[in-house]
Amino acid sequence: MKKLYLLVLCVLSAMFVNAQETMWNFKIGLGASSWMGDGYGPAKALFNQRIGVGVDIPLTGWVSFQTGLNWTSKGAKYSLMGDMKQTVNQNYFEMPILAAFHIGTPKNFDVVIAGGGYIGCGIVGKTEHKTDDVTSSWATFNDACLNNVKIWDGLRRFDAGIQAGVNLDFRHYLVGVEGEFGLARMCKDGPRNLAIFATVGYKF
């Protein structure tokens, strides 16, 4: 019984220590996104943004688990036949699932290299179609029809892929670069998302 009490006490102590060391953060980012693969012609990049909260949970002295919830904007612009152009904006809730490696550095400064995956759900978006001086728009994740003729197949809401980044962590602040490489196609035989963001954040 004493050994059981001691084991429980050790587990509770470890949980308390980890809770004390767990670090939350709030981050904002600006960057560029585009599409890769077939489906919609040569895609050009759009400037987009990211905002979110994250948590860093220590596993060992130099390895931690990172996750959180981000509001991430993605998309691309491209040309169709003639003078027709389209700009597609996609907004997702994303959850990263990352392993982070902390490089030993002087006190109150750390270099963190993180890698893993992410999953996302498309929430809202807007697609603009421009022909000459005529502009029309519709919801990115919904089908669009004109005169009962489908002109757009809504993009799939599910997204997932690989995420990696490097952060410079100071005592209360962080700056870094994060990139995403989508593995899920946005439609059948269609392109995948690609994005990169420069981020700044506050740790608490």
Cα–Cα dist 160/106, whole Å: 36
* pLDDT band at residue 12 under the 50/70/90 scheme: very low
CA dist 62 and 162 (Å) reads: 22
**Higher-scoring residue by pLDDT: 94, 204:** 94
Question: Per-residue pLDDT tens for 121-168?
Answer: 999 999 998 988 888 899 999 998 877 888 889 999 999 999 999 999
Structure pTM?
0.85
Q: How confident is the model at residue 4 (pLDDT cuts 50, 70, 90)?
A: very low
DSSP symbols for 11-46: HHHHHHHHHHH-EEEEEEEEEEEEEESSSSSSEE-E
Q: Which residue has better confidence, 83 or 144? A: 144
